[in-house]
Every structure is written in structure tokens, then in C-alpha cells.
Amino acid sequence: MNTPSKIIRKSAEIVFLAALCFCMGDAAARLAQRYPLKADSPADWAAGSVADTRFSSPEPDGNSEEPAENITPLPASADGNWGLSFQQEGEPPVANATADYLAQFDAFYAQQTDEKVIYLTFDAGYENGYTSAILDALKKHGAPAAFFLVGNYLETSPDMVRRMIDEGHIVGNHTFHHPDMSSISTEEKFKEELTGLETLFEQTVGQPMKKYYRPPQGKYSESNLKMAQALGYKTFFWSLAYVDWYENDQPTKDEAFKKLLGRIHPGAVVLLHSTSRTNSEILDELLTKWEEMGYRFASLDELVSSTASGSGSDTRQ
């Protein structure tokens, strides 16, 4: 039997549930409007290559998607992934740390300029037969590059490293073991990863290693940047990259050109992986296309010196 008290209680429950559903629906709608998903495909989202409105970090296990409006430098001691948001074709991306913020730690991700200059960099975790063709293409175009190596590469491919040096390229430090450096909080452990590779490099090629450092997977913290600086290192992130590291799922030529031609911009620091079959096959044509667009290629040394002299400050109109 439904007494008046039961009817009142039931009515109150219905009103409460209706209000709850309304609030949840309104909140969901506002979230969807504020943070729309614009992935090229579900596979792109899973790979961390969501375009235009999200950040993505182009290395395995280094994905970082955040809403584009949340662009703030990382606070002291915070962990984070390097990330970029491409807003307009042919224009520099918005990074999750500004050039001025990074400069205080001798760190870079691009040159703030209107000049059509490209800084080519390659991350090399191991040798799988593609670096020779990459070096051939660079030599053909007179294009200097920087190769960021790990310990395994130096141990297994010393002749290829010597060729990089002989042909005028920079060999930089990508750490000995390729760990998540943002999880390393002690100076001793951080130093071991960098100096261990330095020692092996000097033993292998007979000369000191350039103190240029790239954090594995783009993972870093402010304390990491300070530690690298204290060791005399300059840290290099990037302003253009694409998903090229999956050995058994390589991008097609058209997919690579869509990203690398559409997103190139003045002052770009381009990150490619030397383990990519696609990169080895398209690099000659890619460099030609960039040259036809009016770009020239320069060494990271030029980026550093232009910034030190003040000519690397923002010259865009």
C-alpha cells in the first residue's frame, strides 16, 4: 500500500535522479564542446599522433595528449612529456613550454625566426640497415644533421658512427640506456646516463662527445634540465616529428609527406628516426621538396650560436 509518506519519498527520488541526469548530461556536453576529439583515426589516437588540437610526443611510450589551451611551462620538479599542438599549416606549433622558458636552461626546440631554415636531427637507438641511405641523402644535399645515439648503437655500429663524424654531422647524447629521465631524481644517476655514453664515445672514436642532449621519449622535468645544464649540456627537443618508429608498421610515403611537408616551418628542429625504412626511402626526395619550398639546412651549432648572439630571438613579423 502506497502511503502518503511513501509517495512523497518516491517523488523526491524521481526528482533527484532527474536533476542528476540533467547535470551529468550538461557537464558531458560542455566537456565535449571544450575538448573535441579530432583524431585522424582511432589508430592515430592510440599511437599518440592526434593532429591539430592535441599534444603528441613522437616516441614509444612517450605519448602526451592535453587540451591545446593548457599550454604552460612545467613547474619546478614536475614531470612531463614534450608535446606540440599544430594550429596552422606552415606555421610553428605551440609547444607545452616556451622558447624563453627553455632558454634559461640552455634548452631549445626551434628557432624563432622567419628565415626558412631547417635543423635536421635523428634519434638512433639501434642500427637496422637504413642509416647508410640516410647519410647518402644528407651528403647529396650537403645537409648537416645531428644523430642522438644510445649506448647500444655505439657498441654495435662504431663504423657508422665514425662515418657520421667524417661526413660532418654532430653526434649527440641520447643517454646510455634510454630510460625515462624524468623519473631520475638524483644528480648521480642522471650523470651516469650521460657520462657513461660520453666515455664510450671517446673510447670508440677517439674524441670528446659534443655536449648536446636529447631526453629519451621527450620525457623531462625542470630538475633534469638544470642537471643537464650543470653538466655543460644543451638540451634539444623538436618542433616537427611524426610516427615513424614502429618497425613493422611504417608510414607510407604519402602519409610521411603529408605530415613533413604540411607542418614544416621556419626554424624547425625536425626529429626523424634512423630506424625508419620510410625515412631512408624518402629522405632524398623530401630534402629536394623542402629545398623547392625555399628552405636551407643548418647545423644545431648555428641554432646555438644564433641564440647566443641574440640573432636567434624572435624575428617573426
How distant is the alpha carbon of residue 295 from its chain centre?
Answer: 21
Cβ 273 vs Cβ 130: under 8 Å: no
Helices 131-141 and 158-166, axial angle in degrees (round to 10):
0
Does residue 169 carry a catalytic annotation? no
Burial environment of residue 53 by CB neighbours within 10 A (0 to 12, 13 to 18, 19 or more): middle
Does residue 273 carry a catalytic annotation? yes
**Chain position carrying cell 672514436:** 205
pLDDT tens sequence for the chain (317 residues)? 554 444 444 444 443 444 434 443 443 333 333 333 332 222 322 233 323 323 344 454 333 323 333 334 444 334 578 999 999 999 999 999 999 999 999 999 999 999 999 999 999 999 999 999 999 999 999 999 999 999 999 999 999 999 999 999 999 999 999 999 999 989 999 999 999 999 999 999 999 999 999 999 999 999 999 999 999 999 999 999 999 999 999 999 999 999 999 999 999 999 999 999 999 999 999 999 999 999 999 999 999 998 876 654 454 54
Cα–Cα distance measured from residue 106 to residue 182, given in angstroms and rounded to the nearest whole number:
17
Domains and CATH numbers, the chain: 107-309 (3.20.20.370)
Cα–Cα distance measured from residue 39 to residue 41, given in angstroms and rounded to the nearest whole number:
5
DSSP SS3 for 111: coil
Cβ 150 vs Cβ 175: under 8 Å: yes
Cα–Cα distance measured from residue 176 to residue 146, given in angstroms and rounded to the nearest whole number:
17
307: which residues sit within 8 A by CB, 6+ positions away? 103, 108, 111, 313
Selecting among 106, 123, 178, 265, the annotated active-site residue is 123
What's the pLDDT score for residue 314?
Answer: 55
Cα–Cα distance measured from residue 199 to residue 218, given in angstroms and rounded to the nearest whole number:
23
CA angle 120, 314, 106 (to 5 degrees): 60
Residue 252 is classified by DSSP as: P
Amino acid in position 220 = Y
Cα–Cα distance measured from residue 281 to residue 159, given in angstroms and rounded to the nearest whole number:
22
Selecting among 141, 174, 273, 301, the annotated active-site residue is 273
